[in-house]
Every structure is written in structure tokens, then in C-alpha cells.
Chain A
């Protein structure tokens, strides 16, 4: 009922789902690129998935700009406008992190040493799980189909686990016999990957606040 009065709002809502789907594609291609890199460093697949990651990251940026333009054309009440824009900007940090991590590996020609691979896989898996939970949380904010609070708790637990893995990896890097220069490169890579779950956790807390704000 009255949906004809809220055409722009419906368009914003549809674009947000498009945006989330695009971020998910970035996430898939990031994982594929990383898997390709671990299995066979600097193979063609790795380059291909980097390009795909970049393509989807740019597409997400374009959608975000479209949402921004539409919203500031007097769509939604200012409070909701600010919340959505802040949320999208916070989410957008994650695809940029994916891209940055892949570029670090590509441009610095990094090869992951064997002793780091199991922890790295764990860290990436958990970080991406945080991203998926965060995506579900955003959908829950707009559809109310899941408990935002429960998802927040799971993300929080995963994020703590990621922090532990990150610390363990950095310890292993500095205990290993690799060159000091490679140590610093790998440490930087580990910190960047660890930042994914940190950012997902920040976004998750933000979603919870946006949701709480809408309770009287």
C-alpha cells in the first residue's frame, strides 16, 4: 500500500541489495585469487582473479555513488540517510582491503612460506566468514529476518579468534629464519588480512547501533 509514494526508497533498497551482491562477488574473487596464489604463486589464474576483484570493487563503488546521489535527492529522512551512507562507507572499506591485499602479493611478488599456509587459510576463512555474517546482518537490518544481536555476537567471537591467529602468525614469522625484509613484508600482509575481520566487526557494531536507534 502507498508504495507509489515511495518509488525512490524502493530503488535505494534494491540498489543496496545490488551493492551487497557485488561486495559478495569481490569477496569470492578475492578468495579465488588467494587460493590460486597459495597453490601456484603468480599463475595466470591469480592475475585473472585480481582483475575480477578490482572490477567488482569498482562496480560496488559505482553503486554506492548511485545510492548516494539518489538519497541526497530528498529520499529517506535525514537520520536514515546518514545511517545508510555511513554504513555503506564502512562496508566499502572491506572490498578495498581485498584489493590492497592482492596488490601487496602481486606487486611485492610475495610467496607465502609453507609454515604460514595453514594459519593463513584459517585467518582468511574466518575473516571471510565474518564478512558473510556482516552481509546477513545488513540484510537483517532491512528485512528483519534474523537477529542482529546474535549475528553481532558470532562476528565478535570470530574477530577475537582472528586476532589470536594473527598474533600467532606474526610470532611465527619473526621466529622463522627468513630474511628480515621478507619478515616485514609478511607481517604487513598478515596485519592487512587481520584488518578484514576487524572492519567486519566495526560494521557489525554500527549495524547494531543503527538498529537500536530505531527503538524507542
Chain B
């Protein structure tokens, strides 16, 4: 039983390693916050978010199709393989898309697919970057007016931004845990292997493990590559990402923190009429957006077929 969860733990670990960068990438890559401080805060808040609000997403994903434990493991492994491959290719990753793609693959083969839930999920994928952009466009002038009214000197402004980035990073990690825990362990709940609480705990801890052990290089590179904005804009981006992902948690759909972040960065770019994300980056996002669910679907089909091959002697 425990070895069956390894696929899920691996997926959670890679999710934590990759997505924590969206919450703390700017702060860590620019040396505003020490990595270990960010990692510990991130890990604690991911687990808290998963435990307190992870249930809704798990219920949505488990509703897409009913699996046995074998199919759940195949799903996790297919999603984890997709995430790894996309990371190697340097394309922005959505673990949610990988998991849903893998679930669809198994669902297609076993002809037990609930498409009513799928439309909700796909709509939310499209809405994530748009939501991130809109929230950032709303927050930027709103918080800006408060910030300007405070008339802070250079040191006060520095302290406020530092504290703000830590708090917003913690909130982003909380939203990540609450929203993305479903990607890690929903399939096991669907297979009836564990309870929802156990799933949130297992998922939360595996994401936290990813943050604590392997998020440093991703935070330092992705944080710099994705967000090339001033510290105030970086703060708005992280808050907008947290709010967007948190809103989708209430709806019960796991979404991508990377997509929400890119949407928020673009939103600020539109508002200030400056280019915040380069064309190549945008192209990669679109390719990644389309390729992730397809690849995960193909991987899960291939793994499922392979697992059902039997050697028949002559």
C-alpha cells in the first residue's frame, strides 16, 4: 500500500520543488529573504493550506473518474513524468493540467469519464491567467494609493516590502497547498485507498518535502526568469497569484500557480504599458499550456497499456 503512494509523493515533491518559486522566487532570488526562511515558512503554510482547505479540490478531481489503486498510481506516475519532462524542456508547468490529462487518459481507456466536471476544470485553466491579470490590475493602483499615502522613506519602504513579500509568500504557499494538494492525492481518494484528511496530509507533506529539499535552484532561476519587475510589482504579483489560486480553491478546481503568476505579471505590464514578459516566454506558456494535458494523457495511456501486457508463452 505504502509503495503505491510513492508516485503521489514523487508528484507532490516535484510540485513543491517547482511551484514554491511562484510564492517566494522573487524574494529568494533577489536575496531579500534567506532560502531556508522561505522554505520553512512555505512548507508550514503549504501543509496548513492543504489541511484546512484542500478538501474541495480533491472532491472535484476524484469526481472526474473512479479509479482503483493501480490506475491511481499510473495517473500519479504519468503526471510526474510529464512534469519532469516539461521541466527538462524548460516549459512552464501546470501540475494540475498534468494530473487532469493523466486522469483523462485512464478515463478514456476504461470508458468511465465524467465530462461534466471536465468543462469546469478547463474553464478554470483559461480563467487562471485572466484572473491573475485582473486581480493584479485591480490591486496595483489600490495598494499603490495606500503605499503613496504612507509617504515612507527609503528604509521604511524597504522594510514594508520585505515584510510584505514574506507575508504574501506565506499566503501564496497556503493557497498552493490548499489548491494543489488535490493534484497529488485526489486519485488515491478516488481509489478508496485513503480518507480525504489523510490525502490532504500526505499531499501537503510531500509538497512541503519538495519545497524543503529541492526548491532552491528553481526559486533562484525561475524567480529571476519569470518576474522581472520592481519590488512593489513583485509584491502585487505574489498577492494576486495567492488570491487567484485561493479563489479557485473555493470553487474546488486545482489550477496552476505559474499561470496565475504570469497572468499577474502581464496584467501589471498592461497597466503600466511596459513589457514585463518577453514574447518567447509567452510562446512557451502557450505551448506548455496545450502540451501538458496531452502529454500526460498519452503517458497514462501508455503506462496503462504497458501494465496490462502479459507474457504468453508459445
The answer to whether A and B assemble together is: yes
**Cα A78 to Cα B234 with chains together (Å):** 13
Closest residue of chain A to B272 (Cβ to Cβ) is A216
**Cα A142 to Cα B148 with chains together (Å):** 15
- Contacts A79-B231, A216-B144; is A2 near B163 (CB within 8 Å)? yes
CB under 8 Å from chain B, chain A span 180-216? 210, 213-216
B153 interface residue, CB < 8 Å from A?
A: yes
Assess the A216–B158 pair: CB atoms within 8 A.
no
- Contacts A9-B159, A141-B153; is A77 near B231 (CB within 8 Å)? yes
Assess the A74–B31 pair: CB atoms within 8 A.
yes
- Contacts A216-B140, A216-B144, A216-B232; is A76 near B158 (CB within 8 Å)? yes
- Contacts A142-B155, A214-B154; is A74 near B148 (CB within 8 Å)? no
Query: B97 to nearest A CB, angstroms?
Result: 33
Contacts of B161 in A (CB 8 A): 77
Contacts of B232 in A (CB 8 A): 216
Contacts of A78 in B (CB 8 A): 30-32
Contact of A80 among B144, B154, B163 (CB under 8 A): B154
CB under 8 Å from chain B, chain A span 1-38? 2, 6, 9, 13
CB under 8 Å from chain B, chain A span 55-83? 74, 76-80, 83
B152 interface residue, CB < 8 Å from A?
A: yes
A123-154 interface bits toward B, Cβ cutoff 8 Å, 1 = contact, 0 = none: 00000000000000000011110000000000
B34 interface residue, CB < 8 Å from A?
A: yes
A50 interface residue, CB < 8 Å from B?
A: no
B162 interface residue, CB < 8 Å from A?
A: yes
Closest residue of chain A to B151 (Cβ to Cβ) is A144
- B interface: dominant SS: helix
Closest residue of chain A to B140 (Cβ to Cβ) is A216
- Contacts A77-B162, A77-B231; is A144 near B34 (CB within 8 Å)? no
Chain B interface size range: 20 to 34
B197 interface residue, CB < 8 Å from A?
A: no
Contacts of B314 in A (CB 8 A): none
CB under 8 Å from chain A, chain B span 107-123? none
Assess the B31–A13 pair: CB atoms within 8 A.
no
Chain A CB within 10 Å, residue with most, of B143, B144, B147, B157: B157
Contacts of A144 in B (CB 8 A): 151-153
A162 interface residue, CB < 8 Å from B?
A: no
**Cα A216 to Cα B146 with chains together (Å):** 10
Closest residue of chain A to B159 (Cβ to Cβ) is A6
- Contacts A2-B163, A77-B30, A78-B32; is A141 near B154 (CB within 8 Å)? yes
- Contacts A13-B155, A76-B158, A80-B158; is A215 near B34 (CB within 8 Å)? no
**Cα A214 to Cα B145 with chains together (Å):** 12
Assess the A79–B34 pair: CB atoms within 8 A.
no
CB under 8 Å from chain A, chain B span 58-109? none
A84 interface residue, CB < 8 Å from B?
A: yes
Query: A82 to nearest B CB, angstroms?
Result: 11
Closest residue of chain B to A216 (Cβ to Cβ) is B144
**Cα A144 to Cα B151 with chains together (Å):** 8
**Cα A2 to Cα B157 with chains together (Å):** 14
Assess the A142–B231 pair: CB atoms within 8 A.
no
**Cα A79 to Cα B31 with chains together (Å):** 11
Contacts of A74 in B (CB 8 A): 31, 34
**Cα A126 to Cα B32 with chains together (Å):** 41
Contact of A214 among B30, B141, B152, B163 (CB under 8 A): B152
Contact of A77 among B34, B145, B151, B158 (CB under 8 A): B158
Could you name 26 residue pairs across A and B whose Cβ atoms are closer than 8 Å? A2-B159, A2-B163, A9-B158, A9-B159, A13-B155, A74-B34, A76-B155, A76-B158, A77-B32, A77-B158, A77-B162, A77-B231, A78-B31, A80-B155, A80-B157, A80-B158, A83-B154, A84-B154, A142-B153, A142-B154, A213-B230, A215-B148, A216-B141, A216-B145, A216-B148, A216-B232
Q: Would you list the 10 A-B pairs with minimal beta carbon distance, nearest first?
A: A216-B144, A144-B153, A80-B158, A78-B30, A74-B31, A77-B32, A77-B231, A214-B157, A142-B153, A76-B158
Binding site for A on B (CB under 8 A): 30-32, 34, 140-141, 143-145, 147-148, 151-155, 157-159, 161-163, 230-232
A144-B151, A215-B148 are known; give 20 further A-B pairs, CB within 8 A: A2-B159, A6-B159, A9-B155, A9-B159, A13-B155, A77-B32, A77-B158, A77-B161, A77-B162, A78-B30, A79-B230, A80-B157, A83-B154, A141-B154, A142-B155, A144-B152, A210-B154, A216-B141, A216-B145, A216-B232
